Structure 1
Amino acid sequence: MKTPPQLQVLIDDGVIDEVLRPLKSGKEAAVYVVRSGDEIRCAKVYKDMAQRSFQQRVQYQEGRKVRGSREARAIGKASKYGRRQQEAAWKNTEVDALYQLRGAGVRVPEPFGYFHGVLVMELVTDAEGFSAARLGEVELDAAQARRFHAVLVQQVKLMLCCGLIHGDLSPYNVLVGPDGPVVIDFPQVVSAGGNNAARAMLLRDVNNLTAWLGRSAPELFDTWYGEEMWELFQAGDLQPDSALTGEFTPDLRAVDLDGVREAINDAREEALIRQQGREAAEEDY
């Protein structure tokens, strides 16, 4: 295969030795299987802003930290410099999250470094050494579904203890390794304490997993792990070793503030997309 230019730079610098094959291509990045010495790894090449979907980006980025006040002001004004800084921060987010989560014991691929916009990390494989399948591609019996659900709820809890929420967790960004599920794809990771939509995203992550695994183990539909975790987190009582029961009594009197905030964020995002579209058209002209 023809080596992508971003990966040729890594070969020239001695970071990797060979590109073996494409692994997958998504809306945010393309992933390749590469060789580094005797190790087989994967390289994630992030797509440029113009090639990516802008859906919900503003909502995900709320609460993220930037390097300095100048960058923060530029991002807030959506200037060209600000968008470049925002783009750099977007590409660095997954790298930072992987190192932090791996250090906290979360089941994520081991990162090996970020070079020229490319993330080099562990290639998750199955028991035979082939690239691991996604959870949404495998059939599980009831016992396996219950076990995987327990493992994944534990990973979501550990992430939340780090102040992070995956934000886009589904059966298609969980890989099935020989010793259980591994969570992948973190460029949209959310700050649990700094994002107004954090609770809604946490509940969506847990509900996505429960909806899929509940097909094999229907009793999972009666669990409320996301709500239970969030209540403990808000109270400052959530710890990595906190025992969860899956039981929760909702407050039916609560106002749907999340719906209001989501509508506001959608409007902000749409305005940003339109502005970027106008400026792109002007540049092409």
Structure 2
Amino acid sequence: MSHLHTDHTFPEDFLRPDDRSPLEGIDESFVFTYDTYSDELGEGQRWSRWEDLEALMKGPEPRPDWVVTSSGAIDTELGVLKTGKEADVFLLEREDPHRPETAVVMAAKRYRDTDHRSFHRAASYTEGRSMKRSRDNRALKRKSTWGRQVAAGEWAVSEWNALRRCWELGLPVPYPVQIDETEILMEWITVTVDGSTETAPRVAQVRPERSVVEGYYEQLRDAMATLAQAGLVHGDLSPYNTLAAGDRLVIIDLPQMVDLVGNPRGMDFLLRDCANMCAWFRSRGLEVDEQELFGELMAHAF
């Protein structure tokens, strides 16, 4: 009968396990670290819902480096930025407590529950509107969270889609970070004044030098031409919903964007946009004509 020999000889490392690091000899690809977060939030704070949102509810890729996507980030209310007829805009800071250097302040546009389905002059803007985005159609069929928001016909959804489309076209609009029900988080457009960061003023509020005015007009014309080529019209463009971010012109407030051809009044809206903006440029000493601009844009559209 054979006997089991128990007098094994083990490597020296196994005889003195306390001398070894717990991770020594382990493939680094199997090692990960994690941060723990407090369960407590302060007043005016909430957890970021970034990880809970579907892909269509997040901004287009590639995303700017400043977008905070950490699942442990905290959103902190900083106060009201602007009030409007259908929505109010707040400032909100998103910060990962373990990476405070990445904190970012964003604009949070919140449509009021009683108004977001009854936007003023809604019928004239929605007439002829079609669901051109195939991804929205797929979301509707899947009855996903995004699909339910699209089906509700909210104006927040309309603005979100417009912001995404404009950003993808390379237009000067705030980067759309996320949409969650009737709230849109987007880039906060700022200027630096005496070393401090402030909200960029509306174009109607500024009196820039002529060279800056000329630059604004070139940017406006290019942006409107790009929209026209895409078959789109802002629909409510004016010096009150364009921002003067230093030498840069930024277009905001897009929920009423219309189809240039699909909407029976698409060309009327385009001419009105031209008239509203040209009136401001003339008041700043620039000789521009809305009919000439309109004709130029129509040439881009067809």
TM over 0.5: yes
Unaligned runs of 5+ in 2: 1-42, 53-71, 96-102, 141-148
Distance in structure 2 (CA, Å) of the matches to 1:158 and 1:166: 11
Q: Which runs of 5+ in 1 are unaligned?
A: 72-83, 236-285
Looking at secondary structure, tell me which structure has more helix per residue: 1
**SS of residue matched to 1:171:** coil
Are 2:206 and 1:141 aligned? no
Q: 1:125 to 1:85 in 2, by over 3 A?
A: closer
Greater gyration radius: 2
SS in 1 for 2:287: helix
1:174 aligned partner: 242
Residues 15 and 94 (structure 1), Cα distance of their counterparts in 2 relative to 1, 3 Å cut:
farther
Tell me, in whole angstroms, the C-alpha distance in 1 between the residues paired with 2:291 and 2:125.
26
Residue matched to 1:120? 185
Match of 2:259 in 1: 191
Q: Is the 8 A contact 2:212 2:247 kept in 1?
A: no
* Match status 1:226 vs 2:294: yes
Structure of greater relative contact order (alpha carbons < 8 Å, 6+ residues apart) = 1
Gap change, CA 1:17 and 1:50, over 3 Å in 2 = closer
User: Cα gap change, 1:11/1:228 in structure 2, threshold over 3 Å: closer, same or farther?
Assistant: closer
Paired residue type of 1:229: L
Q: Larger % of strand: which?
A: 2
Answer whether contact 1:143 1:217 (CA < 8 A) is retained. no
Of 19, 30, 35, the residue aligned with 2:77 is 19
Aligned partners of 1:222, 1:96: CA distance in 2, in Å? 28
Which segment drifts farther, 14-23 or 43-52? 43-52
Q: Which residue of 2 aligns with 1:100?
A: 165
Change (3 A) 1:157 1:22: same
Is residue 277 of structure 2 the alignment partner of residue 209 of structure 1? yes
Aligned to 1:35: 93
> Alpha carbons of 1:54 and 1:146: their partners in 2 closer, same or farther (altered >3 Å)?
same
RMSD: 2.7
Q: Is the 8 A contact 1:28 1:52 kept in 2?
A: no
1:36, 1:161 → 2: CA distance? 36
Give the alignment's TM-score, normalised by structure 1.
Answer: 0.68
| 1:16/1:34 contact within 8 Å kept | no
Q: 1:91 offset after TM fit, Å?
A: 2.0
Q: Does 1:59 align with 2:124?
A: yes
Tell me, yes or no, if structure 1 residue 164 matches structure 2 residue 232. Answer: yes
Partner amino acid for 1:224?
E
- 1:43 partner SS: strand
Paired with 2:180 and 2:117, the residues of 1 have a C-alpha distance of 20
- State the 1:99 CA deviation: 1.0
Find the aligned partners of 1:222 and 1:18 in 2 and give their Cα distance.
Answer: 44
Conserved 8 A contact 1:98-1:110: yes
